[in-house]
Amino acid sequence: MDAFTAGLLQRIKATESDLSRARDEGDDFLVEVEQAELDDLRRLAAEHGVEVGAYRV
Residue 12's pLDDT is 97
Radius of gyration of the chain (CA): 12
Altogether, the residues listed in the chain come to a count of 57
CA dist., res. 52 & res. 57, Å (int): 10
Q: How confident is the model at residue 54 (pLDDT cuts 50, 70, 90)?
A: low
Amino acid at 32: E
Residue 19's pLDDT is 97
Helix H or strand E encompassing 55: none
Chain segment 2-50, per-residue pLDDT in tens: 999 999 999 999 999 999 999 999 999 999 999 999 999 999 999 999 9
**What are the helix (H) ranges across the chain?**
3-25, 28-47
CA dist., res. 7 & res. 5, Å (int): 5
